Structure 1
Amino acid sequence: MKKIYLLLFLTSYTAMSQQITPKSAFLEKWNNSKTYLLEMADAMPEEKYAFAPTEREMDFKNQLLHICGNMLWLSTTYFSDEDFDRKKLADNAPNTKNEIIEFLKKSFDEVSTRVTEVSEESLTTKVDFFAGPKSKLQILNLLQDHVTHHRGQLIVYLNLNEIKPPKYVGW
């Protein structure tokens, strides 16, 4: 009987360890984060995209564009062979609510594609980062952290405009 339990445990453990990896966990969370942020972007009326709680904070629109810029910078720089062109990004920034929502979708998808294409093993590779050497896994954490940080600000923006934020789906 003990052998059967051991066999079941090992089989289950092996199946789980093959399914749950840092990369797959990130991609699942990333997709949920995309869904949640898109719902927030959609909830804010376009005429409120210029809203900022104070003069020293970015408005709603520029928070979203900043999130996209960071996503594209980190994913291009650390998960591709391409050079990131900040000026090109700024020169082609979308303006309308619909354009910004499409840009958000494309930015999230671009990160997903790049992360999907890297090997699990490469996530331990150390890269030069302005705050000191980081592993690519740490860069994935930074990607998610940055989105979460600014998304939290956007929740406040919605609440200050008496707009109920969407239900959290970031699990």
Structure 2
Amino acid sequence: MLTSDGDVKNKGQEKAKIKEELHLAWVKSEEMTLINVEQMPPDLFTFKYTEEAMSFSEQWRHCVIYTCGQLAGRAGLKNPYENVKLPVQMTKESVIEELKKMYAFVRKSIEGMSMEKLLSECEFAGDVIPVWRLFYAMENHIIHHRGQCVVYLRLNGVVPKGFYGW
């Protein structure tokens, strides 16, 4: 997307679209995540399929802490969870509240970040990537956990809502 060898005009148009694309991706991510979370009955938020696994609520707690921590540390943002200690097990209402805060943080970060910063590079997973790609890596991490949570729903007799669309 941003590495094409097109003319200057096309590169400028591609750069101008990156914030819009990131914003739309994260809006859709929030929608799909909240659909997933809303489907789990409140009394099953501590469900684990094995003792070693994270509970349903821990999956989402992990996503909140990891996403904000990675974006803050690698993109030079202020981590909203730097001095916050979330409980290991959280209620349905608390999970939803924290997820909404996380998604608001991500959207605000995208909107407030300069193009220079979005195009700058950071280290991640043994590689050097542009910061804009870090946002996609964090969304990919959430997709991974959202998929795990679909299994948690099924193990508890909840038929997950079908394909969400894009």
TM above 0.5, yes or no, is yes
Letter in 2 for 1:160: L
Larger radius of gyration, structure 1 or 2? 1
SS of the counterpart of 2:127?
coil
- Distance in 2 (alpha carbons) for counterparts of 1:85 and 1:147: 17
- Distance in 1 (alpha carbons) for counterparts of 2:157 and 2:16: 39
Letter in 2 for 1:169: Y
Contact 1:79 1:114 in 2 (8 A): no
Q: How does 1:109-148 map to 2 (within 5 A)?
A: 109-129=104-124, 131-148=126-143
Report how far residue 78 of structure 1 moved: 3.3
Q: Deviations over 1:64-111 (max 9, x none)?
A: 10111112112322344435765x33x244722111111111111111
Is 2:162 aligned against 1:167? yes
The answer to which of 69-78 and 27-36 deviates more is: 69-78
| TM-score normalised according to structure 2 size | 0.80
- Distance in 1 (alpha carbons) for counterparts of 2:155 and 2:60: 17
SS of the counterpart of 1:54?
coil
Structure 2, gaps ≥5 residues long: 1-8
Counterpart for residue 6 of structure 1? none
Letter in 2 for 1:166: K
The two structures, once aligned, show a CA RMSD in angstroms of 2.5
User: Structure 1's 170 and 55: CA in aligned 2 closer, same or farther, altered over 3 A?
Assistant: farther
Counterpart for residue 73 of structure 1? 69
| TM-score normalised according to structure 1 size | 0.78
Percent identity for Structure 1 against Structure 2: 25
| Structure number having the greater helix percentage | 1
Structure 1, gaps ≥5 residues long: 1-12
Contact 2:61 2:86 in 1 (8 A): no
Q: Between the two structures, name the one with larger relative contact order (CA 8 Å, sep ≥ 6).
A: 1
